[in-house]
Amino acid sequence: MQKRKHGEWIWLPRAEDDSYADFSLPICGGKGRKITLAVSSEGHYAAYIDEKMVLFSQCGAYPDAPLYDECAVSRYLADGKEHTLRILAWHPGVDSSCYINASPCLWFELREGGRPIFSSGAEVLCRKNTAYKNGYKKSITGQLGLSYCYDSTVTAVDAWGAAVLIKDRPQPKRRAVSPLRLLPLRTAVCCEVTDRGTLLFDLGEERVGFLSLDLVSSEDQLLTVSYGEHLVDGHVPRLIGGRDFSVEYVAKKGRNVFMHPLRRLAGRYLEVEHSAELSVSHMALHEVSRRFVEKKHRFSDPLLQKIYDTSVNTLRLSVHEHYEDCPWREQSMYLLDSRNQMLCGYYAFKGARVQRHNLLFFAEGQSENGFFPLCFPTAKVHAIPSFSLCYPRMVRDYVEHTGDRSVLPLVRPAIEKMLAAFSSRIDESGLIPRLPYPFWNFYEWSEGNDNDEDLRRAPEDYTRVYDLALNGMYVLACREYAALFGGESMAEGMLPKIKATFYMEDKGLYRMTAGSDKGSVLANSLAVLIGLGDKQTVEKMLSDESLVPITLSMHTYFYDALLQTNVDYSAFIIEDIKKKYGRMLAEGATTFWETEKGWRDFDNAGSLCHGWSAIPAYYLPRLAE
């Protein structure tokens, strides 16, 4: 076998969307040799040495800046024996909120001492994997992307042929965090036959992983496996508002053993529709996790301990290649969600490599217009301006908790470009109005703050509106920049304008939107944080029931506003956490929800594991331990 200096990008001779490919190369090892495997793919991949899966990823990178994962594989290579390196790769070919469509390609290197000894090139054999339904193109959700169908009855497969070289692709760089790991398999807690004749499996708690099954089928038959976080009338709600939370598996007669390593699913329940007799040994989500070393925090109050531990579990399930908002419905990385997750991570886990990696990943994905996109990576256009303004705070959080200032010159250009994009939009009023199409002027999921009508407007639809939230967050972002890099904040002159526009003197509180008489907890929390409110503002905010309540995602602004006053609100914050999060636990939560309404929110599509809701992991160690 000819050795080569570096791997080359390869693929099948014919590229198709939503297609699966097998790649094969004979390799060998040697006694005492330290050998690693590095793999990168435009889409998703799973790498095997003989029949052992050793590396896998839903790559989660930008097409023009590919990343590779690397792991040690010496233990799988016997001295003097020939082995087979096989890689299964999936090219989704359809944009989502966690994937940017590009030309399919695969790259790998088997290395000794950092030098390639076997690598991807034209001598690698490849074929289409026809057991998967290529071109299936069935969407789970628009954010998550495509589902799959695997047919175990397929026996005729495409013949092996030579891979083709893909030119003009940059060499991948190593992902700055370690590869994901596959945890020991845990089966369902119980299985029951439903009133519809389906099989319902309860995993006992929220899990994230690959569908895994071991069953005996009395004949060839199609199985539809639905997955979800809750039950409605004893069943997994598969179809929710145009979404389809299911995958398909064609079982062959006899024993079937299968795991699909290219699409993570999440939830507590699996429901299997079948037409012939089944005997199931296990039906599970084989859990996938990032390796963290947990910091131990102990609380005398058992409820606080349970809340803290559940917050940490929520964090674990909401980060894989990068931070994710919710593993069930989206698996998308948003700035605001990630800020909460990073903040909690400083207290929950040792080390901050994940935070650093993702801070740089955000900067790398910045749009040309200076704003940060909706998600990372994504080609979707509806950026959220307020989320962009979280970025300087995220950087300052990182520096304060790690002391690592080496990140600053790497992210400074992105912060300056973003702040310039906002400052250029300050109009004659001295304020920043809501941004026009295609921006989504979202702040939180509450009355008057979600502005989701922006998602349906045309380019010509625009009315100039001023929000305290946007302007307050801009002031905070400018202050964070000054704190990080020195100098004076360039936004202090906006404070009189903000007060004149939003202060309701008769109430002693601040309105959400110019011209409105409606206030919110978020708007008033921001007013306090930028110095336009004080302890009297906080007292009125806590007692005025006409204010739009704050949601779980924005509690950092609410609690920080309370803590900024010279009144000790620690006891209030602890009781607020116990009330809101204790209610979820009382309803059986094993992870914390997107909003307090749980699955009933968003037309029954609310997620029950959402990274932004784990913030007790940040406040409880500081206030209650």
Contact partners, residue 209, CB within 8 Å, separation at least 6? 182, 183, 264, 265, 266, 284, 285, 286, 287, 288
Q: Which CATH number fits domain 182-289: 3.90.1300.10, 3.40.190.80, 1.10.10.10, 2.60.120.260?
A: 2.60.120.260
Burial (CB < 10 A; 0-12, 13-18, 19+), residue 496, is exposed
Residue 90, CA distances (Å) to 87, 94, 101, 269 in order:
10, 12, 12, 26
Give me the sign of the Cα torsion angle 311, 260, 39, 27: positive
Long-range contacts at 531-534 (CB < 8 A, ≥ 24 apart): 531/495, 532/495, 532/498, 532/499, 532/503, 533/561, 534/565
Give me the sign of the Cα torsion angle 139, 69, 49, 22: positive
pLDDT at 4: 57
- The number of helix segments (H) and strand segments (E) in the chain equals 14, 28
The CATH class, in words, for 302-623 is mainly alpha
- Coil, strand, or helix at residue 447? coil
Domain with CATH 1.50.10.10 in the chain: 302-623
Contact partners, residue 305, CB within 8 Å, separation at least 6? 298, 299
> pLDDT tens digits, residue range 316-343?
999 999 999 999 999 999 999 999 999 9
Phi, psi of 563, deg, nearest 5 = -70, -20
pLDDT at 1: 42
The CATH class, in words, for 10-131+155-178 is mainly beta
pLDDT at 31: 65
First to last CA, the chain: 61
Q: In the chain, which stretches have pLDDT less than 70?
A: 1-4, 30-32
Secondary structure letter of residue 442 according to DSSP: -
Domain with CATH 2.60.120.260 in the chain: 10-131+155-178, 182-289
**Other C-beta atoms within 10 Å of 417: how many?**
16
pLDDT at 2: 46
The structure's pTM equals 0.96
pLDDT at 5: 73
Contact 29, 38 (CB under 8 A): no
